[in-house]
Chains A and B, each alone.
Chain A
Amino acid sequence: MPFGSLRLKLLIWYAAALLAVTAAFGSLLYLDFRRSLYDEVDGRLSRQATALAGSIQPESERSFYVELAAEQVAYFDQDGESAPYYAIWDRAGQLVDQSHPALAIPVPAAPGAWQRGDGREHALQGPAGSLVLVGQGTHEESRRLARLLAIILVVGSAVLVLTLAAGWFLTGRALAPIKRISEAAATVSASNLAARIDVAEMETELGELATTINSTFDRLQGAFDQQTQFTADASHELRTPLSIVLAQADLTLKRVRSVPEYRDALETIRRSARRMKSVVEGLLVLARADTGALALVKEEMDLAPAVDDACRLLTPLAAERGVQLEMRLEPFSAWVDRERFAELVANLVGNAIRYNREGGRVEVRLRRQNGEALLEVADTGIGIPEDELPHIFERFYRVDKARSRALGGSGLGLAITKWVVEAHGGKITVASKVGAGTTFVVVLPRG
């Protein structure tokens, strides 16, 4: 479970930091307390040692005797585990006096203060080469220190455990929305794209994440719906001509027909077959374009003759429909795919002729604008209603269904045209007025 491990990782880092802080704090507290305790003991010992040194009466340079005051005698007369004691040596290191003869005190090498066993000792140089040592057990201090250590350990572990528990709970709470996001994301599948993450009660940061994921799902659903719609449309576009072929063949084969009847039947079948062919070809182009398998073969060429050629091929169609085809072409050199560019022009001009009125006009203009090629195809045709304009580049979208089919349109022409323009890094726009005509504007960059 990836979230468990994240939670655990967070907790381990948290615990390590907390442990370090607690340990540092505890050690500092302990060490400081110990130092202050021992300083106190050492101060007392130092005072006693100085007083003892003052009680040494030198006899000569090398000899002396000790004469303790009454309170000193009483002070060192205590018994017990922490009772104070003293020892005095002469210059030769010979023990001269000792408060507790039972104690075996090693001769110190030099004056100073130190720990020996469970006690502190302080030694200083007395008069006449004497060495004075005063010591005291520190059992009481050790007990206080032990108690302090116990308190630090108990409180420290309690704090550690409590804060870790709180941390575990809090990270769990913080990570719970991620789990919800994950669960919601898991329920979204191809068959159920409608599921969304509930962002209502999420913290800002995770809410943003969830919103981002949701909008991704929205786009995914949009793309999927589009694909479903496209498949349904493609199926419809093929089913209809297929029905005609099948029904016509069924009908004609029912009995023996006359030659004109056979000819009519075959013509109907050919019409439908051609329609299916154009749909299938269009679908193939778009499918290859979608998967990126359709690469452009660009070459540098003058667009004007290319437009002219494409239009010339449509002159018979224009004549048949009584549409006047006018061209105003300025030379413009650009890198384009010759075949696709010709297709683009033929598509736009072909539409302009087909959806024109009898005796109408089609104007094809090519000129330079801001260093780019501007190709305009304007007709005086039936026009496109404003609410349909945004859809005309969609696959299988038809403004006038019956008319478009009757003219043998596959419903894919403009979708392919748009793809060609965009694959060249260009832009296609359309403006139209019902009853007045439609103008397509293609902008193609030089490169």
Chain B
Amino acid sequence: MKILLVEDEEDLLQVIGTALRESGFSVDLAADGETGLAKGESEDYDAIVLDIMLPRLDGWAVLSELRKTKTTPVLLLTARDAVTDRVEGLNRGADDYLTKPFDLDELIARLRALIRRSVGSPSPIVTLGTVEIDTAARTVTKDGQPVELSAKEYALLELLALHRGRLVTRTMIYEHIYGEEDDTLSNVVDVYVSNLRRKLGGELIETRRGQGYIIR
């Protein structure tokens, strides 16, 4: 899952960024509204965390502008808890909001819920035959037995599972499981896929030669 984080406080940007990465998200960072909007418009993020008080272009403007072209779920971060602020945020097309100071776990849980809702599966449990994925706890079981996956393997499995029945192209995979700080030159997607097949069974993930992968 790939997140765009727009926050002008350098320290907060880094802390939230690290926390999201450690929770298995790929993260892109933007320190002002203009950069945030440019990134948000040019890429398909799974969700955007947007601060309201931003230099150059504030969160409201970013949100309004972004909504002209994108339906990416947006979670607003606000330092004011005035009801009007929250109402305005939701009315302008935000999907959720959090008031500073917030709990990191709550931010991450809300982001996951946002992403699940945006792909149309509100339940955190995704069942694929004998394989069960708990997207909240980020755990996978096969026949009731826990399966150990690396962060990237899990991210790939989650991406495919959430887009179940739809083709996931290699470009989408690169966009969703790699952040700006990842080295994406290595052609390791095939390695992750074969690892997943080995751990969860060969028939789970189908290869569409030259196009991508799909889970049925």
A residues whose Cβ falls under 8 Å from a Cβ of B: 232, 235-236, 239-240, 242-248, 250-251, 254, 268, 271-272, 400-402, 405-406
Contact = CB atoms under 8 A, between A and B. Distances in A.
Q: Which of A243, A245, A268, A272 has the most CB of B within 10 A?
A: A243
Interface in B105-123: 105
A239 B82 CA distance: 13
B86 to A, nearest CB: 14
Contacts of A406: 10
A342 to B, nearest CB: 30
A246 B99 CA distance: 13
Q: Which of A247, A248, A401 has the most CB of B within 10 A?
A: A247
Contacts of B79: 235-236, 239-240, 243
A402 B32 contact: yes
A232 B84 CA distance: 13
A387 to B, nearest CB: 16
A244 B11 contact: yes
Interface of B: 8-12, 14-16, 18-19, 22, 31-32, 53, 55, 79-80, 82, 99-105
A240 B10 contact: no
Nearest to A228: B82
A362 B101 CA distance: 38
A244 B9 contact: yes
Contact of B100 (A239, A251, A271): A239
B5 to A, nearest CB: 12
B9 A240 contact: yes
Given A232-B82, A239-B100, A400-B55, A247 B105 contact: no
Given A232-B80, A250-B19, A401-B53, A268 B11 contact: yes
A239 B101 contact: yes
A243 B100 contact: yes
A248 B15 CA distance: 6
B9 A405 contact: yes
A268 to B, nearest CB: 5
16 contacts: A236-B53, A239-B99, A240-B12, A240-B100, A243-B9, A243-B102, A246-B101, A248-B11, A248-B15, A250-B19, A251-B19, A251-B22, A254-B19, A272-B11, A401-B8, A406-B10
B3 to A, nearest CB: 15
Contacts of A240: 9, 12, 79, 100
A51 B102 CA distance: 127
Given A232-B80, A239-B100, A250-B103, A244 B15 contact: yes
A254 B9 CA distance: 22
A277 B104 CA distance: 23
Contact of B80 (A235, A272, A401): A235
| Interface SS of A by simple majority | helix
B101 A250 contact: no
B16 to A, nearest CB: 6
A401 B55 contact: yes
Contacts of A247: 12, 15-16, 19, 101-102, 104
A250 B22 CA distance: 12
Contacts of A251: 15, 18-19, 22, 104
A232 B19 CA distance: 28
A401 to B, nearest CB: 5
A244 B79 CA distance: 12
A303 to B, nearest CB: 38
B152 to A, nearest CB: 19
A272 B102 CA distance: 15
Nearest to A398: B55
Contacts of B100: 239-240, 242-243
B22 A402 contact: no
Given A239-B100, A242-B101, 8 more contacts: A236-B80, A239-B79, A246-B101, A246-B103, A248-B15, A251-B19, A254-B19, A400-B55
Contacts of B9: 240, 243-244, 405
Nearest to B102: A243
Nearest to A267: B11
A243 B79 CA distance: 9
Q: Which of B16, B22, B31, B79 has the most CB of A within 10 A?
A: B79
Contact of A244 (B12, B22, B99, B105): B12
A167 B97 CA distance: 65
A242 B11 CA distance: 11
Contacts of B105: 250
A254 B12 contact: no
A243 B12 CA distance: 7
Contacts of A268: 11, 14-15
A242 B103 CA distance: 11
Contact of B101 (A243, A254, A402): A243
A247 B101 CA distance: 8
A446 B19 CA distance: 58
A243 B106 CA distance: 13
Given A232-B82, A235-B80, A239-B79, A254 B55 contact: no
B11 to A, nearest CB: 5
Nearest to B8: A402
A402 B80 contact: no
Contacts of A244: 9, 11-12, 15
B52 to A, nearest CB: 10
A94 B21 CA distance: 148
B133 to A, nearest CB: 22
B101 A271 contact: no
Closest 4 CB pairs of A and B: A243-B101, A250-B104, A236-B79, A243-B100
Nearest to B19: A251
